[in-house]
Amino acid sequence: MTELTPASAPAGGWVEPVDTPLAPAEPPAPAAPLPGRPSLAVTAGMPVRPTPALDADDVAALLIGQSRSFSRSDVSRLSGVSVIGARKFWHALGFPDVSSRDRPYTEADLRALRRMATLVRAEVLDEDTALGLTRAFARTADRLAAWQVHLLAESLSARADAAGASASEWFPDDADAPDAGMPSVAPALRRLAGEDGSEDALDGAGVQDEATAQATARLLIDLADELEPMLVYAWRRHLNDALSRLLSDASPGRHSAGVVRCVGFADLVGFTTMVGQLTERELAHVVQRFESIASDVVTAHGGRVVKTVGDEVLFSTMAPAPGAAIALDLVDAIAEDSALRSVRVGVAYGSVVSRLGDVFGQTVNTAARLTPMAHPGHVLVDGALAKALASQPGFTLTPMRRRTLRGVGTVTPHTLVRSGSSATRGRHS
């Protein structure tokens, strides 16, 4: 048995040769609530009754639509993919090894493996590319799912606290209310706030206890069908943007240096101190506000948030002026928010290596080294960006003494401020 490469490929590939084509993958069956486990949507407007706690098998059945019934050898045999090849696929998806006795796989897992194997078998993709695409989906989806689970858990927790003794004031069980057909969080909030007689109300520290976890799981299971189209929509829109950047970078007359970007780091000042002073919920709110503001400012100027790491955001633009405007607007927006302190920003302009959705190279290193040099509430840029902005209206640049930056070399930092004629944010969008 070979692995997942076309049947004509040397042994050691991915796909097992098959004489007859595999049946086309069928769409997953719609998930139905388990008996005795009414969803939040079902219980909307009804008296709250205790429901059995969800476990991992319940979640799999409700979200994926099938129970876990296949072993690794079952999936390998039914998909025409070797056990070794299937293991590579599961690893790319972020799934751990399982024993031959375990049955962790569902019909959905089998369809996914078949789909990718078919692309390799038809020589649309080679094995490494197929695994790379799978890994990209998995890493993005893993972070997305964790982000959304934590976001909704915190939201339910905060709403339960705010509702206090009367969750009905926030979420009345009114069948005539707008969006009455949508999932209701009222039953969950009553359970969290203890109105249904339970003793599992949240504590003041916002710990995500069993009540919070159960309410979050039920709400997300109900919302999954509503949120799934948004995922596909967002992916297609961002795929459009990524392809547009690719075509633009490859167009005649572009920079001979390759991919050129304006890259900036924005660092939240005093974050380490805040970690020791704030509660977990307050700290989560600070990080969420920072990421929300940064995302709004960057996207308003047509930029891209490359990644966020707690108290720092990395952004990029294709042109110098929007990158400079983002840096200045971030300083202003953060200063205006009562939940945050100031921010310092370092920006550089030049060639970058774009890989796996991230950016690397000397330009990125320069921006990273400039950031801690900037005073709180200020922006520092490198000489290349200062030169590119010299002919752009709305910016004033002041050179500083030359500095030697570790891993970068000698640079001449410039302070960047708005000129008097461009005091309004968003000019260079």
Question: How would you write the pLDDT of the chain (429 residues) with one tens digit per residue?
Answer: 445 544 334 334 556 554 444 444 444 454 444 444 444 443 333 334 456 888 887 887 888 876 778 899 999 999 999 999 999 999 999 988 888 888 888 888 999 999 999 999 999 999 999 999 999 999 999 989 998 998 898 888 878 777 653 334 434 444 444 444 444 444 444 444 444 444 343 343 344 578 888 999 999 999 999 999 999 999 999 999 999 988 888 877 665 567 899 999 999 998 888 888 888 878 888 888 899 999 999 999 999 999 988 789 999 999 999 999 999 999 999 999 888 889 999 999 999 998 888 899 999 999 999 999 999 999 999 999 999 999 899 999 999 998 888 888 889 999 999 987 444 455 443
pLDDT digits (tens, 9 = 90+) for 168-224: 443 444 444 444 444 444 444 444 444 444 434 334 334 457 888 899 999 999 999
Residue with tokens 């990718």: 116
DSSP tag of 15: B
Q: Where are the beta strands (DSSP E) in 237-321?
A: 260-268, 304-309, 312-317
DSSP 83-139: HHHHHHHHHHHTPPP--TT---B-HHHHHHHHHHHHHHHTTSS-HHHHHHHHHHHHH
> How is residue 154 written in tokens?
């915190």
Q: What type of residue is 156? A: L
Calpha distance 159→171 (Å, rounded): 10
H/E stretch holding 322: helix 320-336
Is residue 233 within 8 Å of residue 223, measured between CB atoms? no
Return the percent helix, strand and coil in the chain, to nearest 5.
Answer: 45, 15, 40
User: Residue 282, SS3?
Assistant: helix
- The partner residues of 317 in beta bridges, in order of sequence, read 262
What per-residue confidence (pLDDT) applies to 67? 72
Is residue 263 within 8 Å of residue 369, measured between CB atoms? no
pLDDT digits (tens, 9 = 90+) for 123-177: 999 999 999 999 999 999 998 999 899 889 888 887 877 765 333 443 444 444 4
- The partner residues of 15 in beta bridges, in order of sequence, read 81
Residue with tokens 């339910």: 156
Instruction: Give Rg (Cα) of the chain.
Output: 26
Residue 377: count of CB within 10 angstroms of its CB:
15
Domains parsed from the chain with CATH numbers: 257-418 (3.30.70.1230)
In degrees rounded to 5, what are phi and psi of residue 176? -90, 0
How big is the CA angle at 274 (ends 273 and 278), to the nearest 5 degrees? 135
* pTM check: above 0.75: no
